[in-house]
Amino acid sequence: MQSADSNIVAPESLDLKQLTLLGQGRTAEVFLFRDRFVIKVFRPNFPQQAIDNEYLVCRSIGSAVDIPKAHQRLMIAGREAIIFDLVKGDSGFKHLFRNPWSIVGFAREFAAIHVKIHSTSVPDEVPELKSILIRNINRHDHLPREMKAEIIEYLNRLSGGTKLCHGDFHPENILISGGRPFVLDWMTATRGNPLADVARTSVLLKWAEPGPGTPSLVKVLLNGIRRKFHRHYLSEYLRLTGVKQDEIDEWELPVLAARLMEWLPPSEKQVLVENIREKLKRL
pLDDT of residue 15: 84
The pTM (predicted TM-score) of the whole model is: 0.92
The CATH number of whichever domain residue 141 belongs to comes to 3.90.1200.10
- Domain containing residue 236: 90-281
Mean pLDDT (the chain) is: 92
How many structural domains comprise the chain? 2
Over range 156-171, report the average pLDDT: 96
Q: Is the pLDDT assigned to residue 9 strictly greater than 70? A: no
pLDDT of residue 221: 82
The CATH number of whichever domain residue 70 belongs to comes to 3.30.200.20
For 50-108, the pLDDT digits (tens) are 999 999 999 998 778 999 999 999 999 889 999 999 999 999 988 988 888 999 999 99
Burial of 7 (0-12, 13-18, 19+ CB in 10 A): exposed
Would you say residue 5 lies in a domain? no
pLDDT of residue 213: 73
Q: Is the pLDDT assigned to residue 1 strictly greater than 50? A: no
Domain end (from 85, 111, 134): 85
pLDDT of residue 6: 46
